[in-house]
Structure 1
Amino acid sequence: MDSDVIVVGGGVIGLTTAVTLAESARRVTVWSRDPYADTTSAVAGGLCWPYRVQPEERATAWSLHSFHILTALAERPEETGVRLVDGTMADTRTEDLGTWAEGVPGLRAARPEELPDGYGAGARARVPLVDMRTHLPYLERRLAAAGGVLERREAPSLDAAGRAAPLVVNCTGLGARALVPDPAVRPVQGQIVIVENPGIDTWFVAAGGGAEETTYVLPQPYGLVLGGTAREDVWETAPDPATAEAIVRRCSPFHPGLAKARVLEHRVGLRPFRPSVRIEPERLPGGALCVHNYGHGGGGVTVSWGCAEEAARMVAAGG
């Protein structure tokens, strides 16, 4: 065996886990069926804020761990794709945010003049905003620098990965539904519209926990990301023109130039929702130890480094 660990899955969860393991002197190989540009992670808006990820207490701890790592990476935004950006989480009271509010420096209640019409409360904070088109290749380079290997291949089964290395980490996201198999993993479809930025430099999000239609405006180097949707059990990945029009219409009141901004791109991603994230070890039939790390819903970027650290601890404990 050439590898100590096979990480199955090359999205943000798989790559951060692989980097964490490789930088702790493990010989790591990533099996990724798709190039990073075709993963769900590439569609992510990239805001570091817990969203649709459970269990809440553990997710907050993972998120704060990731927050600190991403904040450090924001010192090199052109290399890492991470910037610190001010913004508002609407329909949110700081007292309801618990340890997330306590752990994010400067997080405070939004003043009335900082909220758009129709919103009675909100939280203001300066948090990492990640350009996934830059961040994912950064993680691939960092993995290579640590001696890790990335292979474009599909795992026919977890046991097949276990025959290639004594340790396996399953970071397959929605793919875990069939690979494990785990029917508790379900898609939550998200559609976004990317437009030319008319001059917006702060983020805004209004996304209730169970709402199918959300509103967010995220300034990225490649354009302004407008969203979105959160439709459970929808597998369609083709953008819907009517949905795109509705997204632009919902976002337009926040800036006078949005309604006429030139559309650059439409994208759809399927968030890998699960009632709770699965991070736990399991012995495969062939004898290899598999650590599962999937089911992060809409919070993959936010919890990535925290979950990677926890998965790495389980790998260390098992071998």
Structure 2
Amino acid sequence: MIVVGAGIIGLTTAVVLAERGVRVRVWAREPAEDTTSAVAGALWWPYRIEPQPLVGAWALESLGVYEELAARPAETGVRLRDGVLRGTRLDGLDAWAARVPGLRQGDEGLLARLPLIDMPVHLAWLRARLLAAGVVVEERTVTDLSGVPAPVVVNCAGLGARELVPDPAVRPVRGQLVVVENPGVTSWFVSADHSSGTSAYFFPQPGGLILGGTAEDDAWSLTPDPAVAEGIVARCAAVRPEIADARVLAHRVGLRPARHAVRLERHRLPDGRLLVHNYGHGGAGVTVAWGCAREAAGLVRPAG
């Protein structure tokens, strides 16, 4: 079996399959550290992903895994941190929210203790877990899913599925981030303006304080925009003034693989081999990774 894609969805899916005894290889056009997943913030929270009735179950299953991994933060990159979702109300969320431990209504928004994932560390941990399971991760560019030489192909190509499937319903949602030296911020904060595509959020990570962000539909540029970066810092500094003078360490841009709904289903290739799709997770790939990976693994059956 070959899993196409080495972002959070591809690596997690490969881990689940391999640890169920399936012989797996991973093919990817770029290493995990160069994927959109490596750029992510990355706070567990369903963001820009549909369909909501399914997202809640996937997210809660993933939450359970991250809560366990948070016992080994240096190894897994997962930590539980307190924070606030300003402007979000508990009564405006679907039923899944009632099952998030400690999620409660505060004066400014929702208060929660949620997983915050240091993505470079977490992706490296996933690769090490694959290596321990005997899985080979190869850098290969796939241009035709039907040409992948395996009885079962699992498509976790993210935004690449737009051309690979092809599926024009997959579209980029550009996100820009600024990483600064942390001036002493220990809790995360999110305040999103869905009408303008801008937000203010900051996530304390071991490598610095990650500031965001933007959500530009159908924007493909991976070049950081200085004016956008200035706006990000200003919005975050309006919440925590000490951020204004923090030294900038890096600028990052990622393209979220948005779709009207996650595509998680199985098909037959023209020659009868099995193709399983697992892509289109928008801004919540980290949030639903384990739930989707387990469902994708359940769709895998011997071809024939």
Pairwise same-fold verdict (TM > 0.5): yes
Partner of 1:304: 289
The letter for the 1-side match of 2:123 is L
User: How much does 1:288 deviate?
Assistant: 1.3
Partner of 1:41: 37
Contiguous gaps of at least 5 residues in structure 1:
116-121
1:247 equivalent to 2:232? Answer: yes
The letter for the 2-side match of 1:126 is R
Partner deviation per Cα, 1:148-169 (whole Å, 9 max, x = no partner): 11111111210111xx211010
Partner of 1:11: 7
1:216 equivalent to 2:216? Answer: no
Q: How far apart are the structure 1 equivalents of 2:194 and 2:54?
A: 17
The letter for the 1-side match of 2:189 is F
Q: Would the aligned equivalents of 1:6 and 1:28 in 2 still touch at CA under 8 Å?
A: yes
The letter for the 2-side match of 1:73 is L
Q: What is the CA RMSD across the aligned residues, in angstroms?
A: 1.2
Of the three residues 64, 82, 93, the one matched with 1:97 is 93
The letter for the 1-side match of 2:118 is D
- Match of 2:284, SS? helix
Partner of 1:294: 279
User: How much does 1:85 deviate?
Assistant: 0.5
Partner of 1:139: 126
Q: Would the aligned equivalents of 2:272 and 2:303 in 1 still touch at CA under 8 Å?
A: no
1:75 equivalent to 2:60? Answer: no
Aligned length: 304
Partner deviation per Cα, 1:112-170 (whole Å, 9 max, x = no partner): 3xx3xxxxxx1111010000010001000101111211111111210111xx2110100
> What is the TM-score of this pair, normalised by structure 2?
0.98
Partner of 1:106: 102
Q: How far apart are the structure 2 equivalents of 1:232 and 1:96?
A: 24
Partner of 1:119: none
Partner of 1:173: 158
Contiguous gaps of at least 5 residues in structure 2:
none
48 and 317 in structure 1: CA distance in 2 versus 1, 3 angstrom threshold:
farther
Q: How far apart are the structure 2 equivalents of 1:209 and 1:100?
A: 21
Q: Would the aligned equivalents of 1:53 and 1:59 in 2 still touch at CA under 8 Å?
A: yes
- Match of 2:41, SS? coil
- Larger deviation, residues 96-105 vs 143-152: 96-105
Partner of 2:254: 269
Partner of 2:57: 61
Partner deviation per Cα, 1:199-249 (whole Å, 9 max, x = no partner): 111110012445411110111110000001000000000000000000000
Q: How far apart are the structure 1 equivalents of 2:47 and 2:118?
A: 18
The letter for the 2-side match of 1:62 is W
User: How much does 1:90 deviate?
Assistant: 1.2
Q: How far apart are the structure 1 equivalents of 2:194 and 2:2?
A: 34
